Structure 1
Amino acid sequence: MSDTARAADGRDDGDSFSSAAVPTVGTVLSAVTVAALLVPVRHGADDPGLWIGAAAALVATGVFLGRRHDVLERRLAGPVAAGASFLVVVLSGYAITQGVLGSVVVPGLEWSVSLLFVAFFVASGGVGVGIADYAGVSGRGLKHRLARSTEMLLLAGIGLFAISVASLFVALPVFLVAGEPTDFQWTIIEYVSFAVGLGAVTAGYLALRDHDVSFIDLERPTLRTVGWIVGGLILILAANLGVSALMTVFGIEGSEHTTTQQAAENPDLLLVIIPAMVLFVGPFEELLYRNVIQKTLYGTFSRYGAVVVASVVFTAVHISAYATAGADQILASLSLLFVLSLILGTIYERTDNLLVPALVHGCYNAAIFLTLL
C-alpha cells in the first residue's frame, strides 16, 4: 500500500506518535474503567462481578500500556484488550440490570453519577479502541472514525427532531377541520409524521452529499429476496425469544416501549399501529439507519464494523422510547434492541437491498403487536 493510500485509509503510517495514539487512548479509557469499578467496591458494593470486571479492566490497561511502549504485538494485544474490555461491558451491564449502580455524588455539584454506567460506556469505547489497534488504525484514522460516527448520531437525532416538526404540519389540517384530534387520529398523525420526518431528513442528507436516488438500494423482489425476508423474520423472532428467555433466567427485566403501553391501554389503536409498522416504521427507519447511515459508514469502517456502529446509533436514538422505568430495565431493553439491530444490519449488508430489512423490521414489529390482540 502506498503512503498516500495508507494515510487515506487511516492505517498506521509508521509515525511513532500516530502509532502510539490509539493504545494511549485505550490506556486512558481502561484506567478510567478500573477506577469506576473500584470506587463502588470501596463504598461497600459486594458484587463479585465488580471485582472480576476491575481485574479485566486492569488487564486491558496493562495490555494497552504494553502496546504504547512497543512491548506487545498489536495482533495479540488488540484482541486481548478488546476481549477484556468486552468482559467489563458484560459484567457492569449485568450489575446494572440487578440494580447495582454504584452512584456517587459529584463534590460541589450535588449530582448523582452511576459509576457502573461510566464503566459500561467507557469500556465499550475500550472494545472499539482494541479492535482499532488490532486493525492497525492510526490516531488520525481513529479521530476520523469518531467524527463520522458522531456525524451519523447527529443525523439520527435530527431525524427524531424532524418527526416532531412534521407532526405539527400534519396535525394542523386536522385541527382546522375537526378540532382536537382523537387518540385514534393522533396515532395516524404520528405515523404519517414519522414517514414525512425521516423521509425529509434522508432526502436532505442525500442532497447535501450530492447523492441521487440511485443511492437508495431498492431492487425488484426475487425468490432470493423472499428467502431472505422469510429467513430474516424467523431469525429475528428467534433472537427475540432467545434473548428474552436468557434475560428471564438471569432475572433481568426489560422496559416496555411507550407504543406498547399505549396499545395495551387502548387496543383499538392496533388497527393503525400494526399496518403502520409494515408501511411506515420498517421502511423509513431502515431507509435512514441502514441505507443512509450504515451505507455511509462503509466508507469509514469495514462493512461489519459499519453494521455495529449503525446499530449503536439505532439503539441510542431509541432511549427515549423505553424511558418508562428504571435505568436497569432501560439498559436491558436497549441491549435486546441492539442485538435485533445487528441482525437487521447484517441482513442489509448481505443483500444490499433496502426492501429486505424494511419488510423484516416491519413484519417483526407487527408480529409483536399482534400478540396484544
Structure 2
Amino acid sequence: MNETARDERTRSERETVAGIGLALAAIAMAGMAVPLRQGVDDPAVQVGLVCSLLAVAVFAGRRYDWLERRYSLVGALASFAVVALAGFALNQGITATVSLAGVTLPSVFVAFITGGVAIGIAVAEYGEITLTDLGQQLTLTTQLSAVAVVAWLMAAFVGVLFIQFGRGIWGDLSGNQLRIANQIGFAVATGGIAVGYVYATGRDWSFFDLRRPTLREIGWIAGGIVLIFLANIAISYLFTSSGVEGAEHTATQDVAQNPQLLYVVIPASILIVGPFEELFYRNVVQKSMYDVFSPVGALLVSSVIFAGVHYVAYALSGAAFGAVLASLAVVFGLSLVLGTVYLRTGNLFVPAIIHGLYNAIVFASVVL
C-alpha cells in the first residue's frame, strides 16, 4: 500500500469515527426529546436537548469535514453537558420510557449512556484516533471491565466460602467475624485476579509498582488526602445546592446500625480495601490501558469501570436509581483523584494509603 492510499484509508477511518459519534449524539438527542414530547416541562431536559443538538452539529461537521479538528472538543463539552443534565433529570425521577420493538427503555438513561460514550468518541476524534485504534481501545475496555466484574463476583464468592469455613469451626459468627471473613475473601479474590491477569497477559511481578514511598511521595499522600476530601466536599455541596440526592454505601449503613463494626472496617480499610482496590483498579486496570490509551484516557476510562463496579454496593441500600447514579458520580470523581496521584507518582503505595485512610475517616465520621 503506497503512502497516498494509506493516508486515504486513515482519513476514511477517522471519518468513520466521527460518524459513530454522530450516531451516538443523535440517539442522545432522541433520548432527551422523548420527555419533552410526553409533556415533561423541565429546564434540565430542555437544555439537555439543546446541548445534544450542538453535539450532533459538531459531529456532522467533523464527519463531512466542514469543521476543523479543534471543534471536536466542543462536541465533547456538549456531550458532557448532556450527560450531566440527563443524570440530573434521572435523579429527579424523570425517565420518560419509550417502547421500541416491544422493549421498554428509559429514554433519558439512554441519552445518559450514549452521551457518555460520545464524550470518548469526541476526544478520540480530536486526537485523530483511527477506527483500528478505537477498536483496540474498545476491546481492551471490554476485557478489563469483564475482569473487574469477575473479580467482584469472586470476592463475594470467596467471602461466602470463608464465612462457611468459619462457621464450620466456630459455629455462629458475630457481626465482626462475618465482616472479617468477607474482607479476607475480598483480599484473596481481588489479589488473585490481579496477579492472574498480569501473568496471563505475559507480564511478570515487575509490572506491579511496589516500592517504599520517598519523601516527595509522602507529600503526595498528605496532599492527596486533603484533595480527596476537598473533592468530596465540593461535589457534595454541588449536589446539595442543586437538590441532587445521593445514596449511602451499604457498608456505611451497616456501620451506622452497628458501631462495633468500626473495630473491623477501619483497619480493613487501611490494610485490605485501599491496597487491594488500588492494586486492581490502578496498577492493573489503569496501567494496562496505557498500551492503547493516552495516560489521561486510561485514567478516565478506568475510573468509569471503578465507579460502575460500585453500583451494587449503593443499589442494595434501597435508594432510587437516580440517587445511586449521583453517588457513582462521586465515586468517579474520587477515583480521578486516586488515579491522578498514581499517574504522577507511579507508586501503588501512594494511592493505596490515601484510599485506605479516606475510607477509614469516612467510616469513623458515621458514628462521631
User: Shorter-chain TM-score: which interval?
Assistant: over 0.9
Aligned ranges for residues 244-255 of structure 1 at < 5 Å? 244-255=236-247
**What's 1:346 paired with?**
340
State the distance in 1 between where 2:188 and 2:204 align.
19
Contact 1:13 1:138 in 2 (8 A): no
**Aligned-residue offset at 1:168:** 3.5
Residue 219 (str. 1) matches residue 214 (str. 2): no
Contact 1:322 1:330 in 2 (8 A): yes
State the distance in 2 between where 1:328 and 1:42 align.
21
**What's 1:60 paired with?**
55
Contact 1:78 1:130 in 2 (8 A): yes
**Aligned-residue offset at 1:166:** 1.5
Residue 139 (str. 1) matches residue 131 (str. 2): yes
Residue 290 (str. 1) matches residue 290 (str. 2): no
Task: Using the TM superposition, name which of 270-279 and 52-61 deviates more.
Answer: 52-61
State the distance in 2 between where 1:210 and 1:186 align.
37
Task: Using the TM superposition, name which of 339-348 and 171-180 deviates more.
Answer: 171-180
State the distance in 2 between where 1:80 and 1:174 align.
57
State the distance in 2 between where 1:107 and 1:222 align.
59
**What's 2:185 paired with?**
193
State the distance in 1 between where 2:327 and 2:253 align.
14
**What's 2:354 paired with?**
360
State the distance in 2 between where 1:307 and 1:13 align.
32
Aligned ranges for residues 158-307 of structure 1 at < 5 Å? 158-307=150-299
**What's 1:17 paired with?**
12
Distance 1:195 1:149, change over 3 A: same
Residue 327 (str. 1) matches residue 353 (str. 2): no
State the distance in 2 between where 1:107 and 1:25 align.
22
**What's 2:35 paired with?**
40
After superposition, the C-alpha distances for 1:227-247 in whole angstroms (9 at most, x for unaligned) are: 111110011011111211121
Amino acid at match of 1:289: Y
Matched residue of 2:98: which SS?
A: strand
Aligned match of 2:82 in 81, 84, 88?
A: 88
After superposition, the C-alpha distances for 1:91-120 in whole angstroms (9 at most, x for unaligned) are: 1111222222222345634x4x22111111
After superposition, the C-alpha distances for 1:173-202 in whole angstroms (9 at most, x for unaligned) are: 312211232222110101111100101101
State the distance in 1 between where 2:284 and 2:198 align.
8
Q: Percent identity, aligned pairs only?
A: 42
Matched residue of 1:298: which SS?
A: helix
**Aligned-residue offset at 1:288:** 0.2
Contact 2:160 2:182 in 1 (8 A): no
Matched residue of 1:371: which SS?
A: helix
Amino acid at match of 2:18: P
**Aligned-residue offset at 1:16:** 4.2
**Aligned-residue offset at 1:214:** 1.1
After superposition, the C-alpha distances for 1:306-356 in whole angstroms (9 at most, x for unaligned) are: 100110000000000000210111011011111000000000000000000
**Aligned-residue offset at 1:49:** 2.1
Contact 1:282 1:359 in 2 (8 A): yes
State the distance in 1 between where 2:361 and 2:194 align.
27
State the distance in 1 between where 2:44 and 2:250 align.
32
After superposition, the C-alpha distances for 1:244-279 in whole angstroms (9 at most, x for unaligned) are: 112111111110000011111111111101110000
Aligned match of 1:371 in 345, 365, 368?
A: 365
State the distance in 2 between where 1:90 and 1:108 align.
29
**Aligned-residue offset at 1:84:** 1.1
Contact 1:13 1:19 in 2 (8 A): no
Task: Using the TM superposition, name which of 90-99 and 353-362 deviates more.
Answer: 90-99
Contact 1:218 1:353 in 2 (8 A): yes
Aligned ranges for residues 148-163 of structure 1 at < 5 Å? 148-163=140-155
Contact 2:213 2:347 in 1 (8 A): no
| Structure 1: gaps spanning 5 or more residues | none
Matched residue of 2:291: which SS?
A: coil
Task: Using the TM superposition, name which of 13-22 and 220-229 deviates more.
Answer: 13-22
- What TM-score do you get using the length of structure 2 for normalisation? 0.95
Aligned residues between the structures? 362
**What's 1:31 paired with?**
26
Amino acid at match of 1:211: R
Contact 2:148 2:309 in 1 (8 A): yes
State the distance in 2 between where 1:122 and 1:108 align.
21
- What TM-score do you get using the length of structure 1 for normalisation? 0.93
Amino acid at match of 1:248: T
